[in-house]
Amino acid sequence: MDTPLTFTEPARELEVSAEYDVLVVGGGPAGLTAALAAAEDGLKVGLLESRSFVGGNMTIGLPVLGFLGQKGNQVIYGLPQKFIDRLKVRDAASEHRPCPLHMGITLVEPEAVKTVGLEMLTEAGVDVVFYTFVAGVIMSDDGSAIRGVITESKSGRNVVIAKVVIDCTGDADVAYRAGVATEKGNEHGGMQPPTLMFCLSNVDTEKLRTSIAVEKRTYLTDFIPAEYFGQNNQFIVVGLRELIAKARTERNLEIPNERTIIITGLKKGEVWINMTRVTGTDGTDARSLTNGEIVARRQIDDIVEYLVNYVPGFEDAHFTKTAPFLGIRETRRIVGRYTMNEQDVLGCRHFEDAIAVASYPIDIHRPGDEGCTLIWCGDCYDIPYRSLLPAHIENLIVAGRSISATHEAMGAIRVMATCMAMGEAAGRAAGIAVTQDILPSEVDIHALRRKLLDNGAYLRGLEGERLTPETEDVSVPA
């Protein structure tokens, strides 16, 4: 192989454009709550976001999953719930609706997510800077801590300094550039494929659901009984495999997914389609991402033709828009002080340093084929604080889908309510660290847990009971 052509960039002075107590990088579900939580302590908090809006994947037409547990109880409250409550004021979020496959679905209106997210951040005094990509880090002389990050934007190349940095990029961009060990994908490096979500209007969702409920032999869904569709007018359809097979045979359509996935929107007649799929994409590589956008966009016409001609209720539907970007399910995961694994999830494990409770099943869109692996544990599992802390870098916390977890565990903890709960914990931990002038790893876990509980978050005791600040200190087997 030829040696790649390289250039040495001349050293240059960079202007420090801002200095914060806590810097949050990435304004997705995790970054939003991390910044809000840190700002509640009166700290100087900055949020850098490469796009022109906050919300991350919550703006691409997806329902928020993870609020309800496998036993039907709500397992995430605190700031994530406050965010949903604010959306509800604008009729921009549904109730947490039980769903046999997804446990609970919470529909949100993407544009309102951007507006309300920004409103809450600015009200909290967070200094939000858009159009700013974090491209590097500046380390302390001994390499143990991050002094600041290097940003690239229309303003040029700058430095932002912070006492504690929270990496909520989803890709562990900050951690990776700081030299934190990271992993990608399964044992073969295969990552869950991305999807370009798209939206259709003028869908008769009443006809869709009643057809599934009544003609249950024709319209078969995965894991969701047909009766469910008779009782619910906001829902996710997963399945209709026979119809896809028929469309492939009769019309020679290229459909990259073995399952039809339809998510009702909050607006009448609007649905979001989660069916494009580009295997082999690496969301940390610009060319691969570009290829993903090209291939996914090409897939849309055949999927629309399939829906309009085979799925009841879509007869008069029309394509309206794609999501603002290709949705990336999986990239880097940090190697932290504890790596969550499949047994932790399936064993409903308790952790002494639990900072959030999750219940979403392992849900892996398989990297190598068109299928999906789903495994339920029957209850809840904890997320330990140590999984948010990189093994070596001292003033960095990671929250969201890139925490320390195996490919399998990440397939469970990646949903948005869980990411928001992790973000809140990261922000509150950063608040304690800065206020007490200690490292995030030195934060007293009981103080952090009590602070979370004081602010309405959900943590559980050994019998699954909801803890209060007074009952926080239950003994939990290691």
49 binds ligand FAD (CB under 6 A): yes
- Beta carbon nearer to ligand FAD, 372 or 447: 372
- Considering only residues 311 to 370 of the shown chain, the ones binding ligand FAD according to CB under 6 A are 327-329
Options 18, 20, 21, 57; binder of ligand FAD; rule CB under 6 A: 57
Stretch binding ligand FAD (CB under 6 A), from 79-87, 314-322, 410-418, 459-467? 410-418
Give the residue among 151, 140, 28, 47 at the shortest CA–CA distance from 401: 28
Scan residues 167-226 and list those touching ligand FAD (CB under 6 A). 168-171, 173, 194-195
The first and second tokens of residue 69, run together, are 């547990």
CB 359 within 8 A of CB 372: no
| Residue 416 binds ligand FAD, judged by CB under 6 A | yes
**Minimum distance between the CB of residue 173 and ligand FAD, rounded to whole angstroms?**
4
Those residues whose C-beta lies under 8 Å from the C-beta of residue 49, and which sit 6 or more positions away, are 26, 27, 31, 128, 129, 130, 132
Contact 328, 283 (CB under 8 A): yes
Q: Which two tokens stand for residue 3?
A: 């040696």
Instruction: Report in angstroms how near the CB of residue 48 gets to ligand FAD at its nearest.
Output: 5
**Does 264 sit near ligand FAD (CB under 6 A)?**
no
Amino acid at 444: D
State how far the Cα of 405 lies from the Cα of 395, in Å rounded to an integer. 20
Q: Measured from the CB atom, is 25 or 145 closer to ligand FAD?
A: 25
- Of 25, 289, 396, 453, which lies in the binding site for ligand FAD, with binding defined by CB under 6 A? 25
Which position has the token pair 């979500």?
Answer: 197
Minimum CB–partner distance for residue 375 and ligand FAD (Å) = 17
Nearest alpha-carbon partner for 393 in 349, 440, 453, 438: 440
Quote the tokens at residue 340: 């969550």
**Three-point CA angle 332, 167, 273, nearest 5°:** 60
Q: Are 428 and 451 in contact (CB under 8 A)?
A: yes
Closest C-alpha among 24, 118, 32 to residue 421: 32
Handedness of CA 417, 422, 425, 431 (dihedral sign): negative
- Partnered with residue 337 across adjacent β-strands are none
Shortest CB 315 distance to ligand FAD, Å: 26
62 versus 429: smaller Cβ distance to ligand FAD: 62
How many residues touch ligand FAD (CB under 6 A)? 37
Output 405 or 419, the one with its CB closest to ligand FAD.
419
Site for ligand FAD in 134-153 (CB under 6 A): 134
Of 320 and 468, nearer to ligand FAD (C-beta) is 320
27 scored as a contact of ligand FAD (CB under 6 A)? yes
Nearest to ligand FAD of 307, 467 (CB atom):
307
Task: Scan for tokens 């700013």, then name that residue.
Answer: 132
Among 386, 401, 407, 460, binds ligand FAD (CB under 6 A): 401
Residue 179 to residue 189: CA distance in whole angstroms? 19
Residue of minimal Cβ distance to ligand FAD: 28
Task: List contacts with ligand FAD (CB under 6 A).
Answer: 25-31, 48-51, 56-57, 62-66, 133-134, 168-171, 173, 194-195, 274, 327-329, 400-401, 414-416, 419
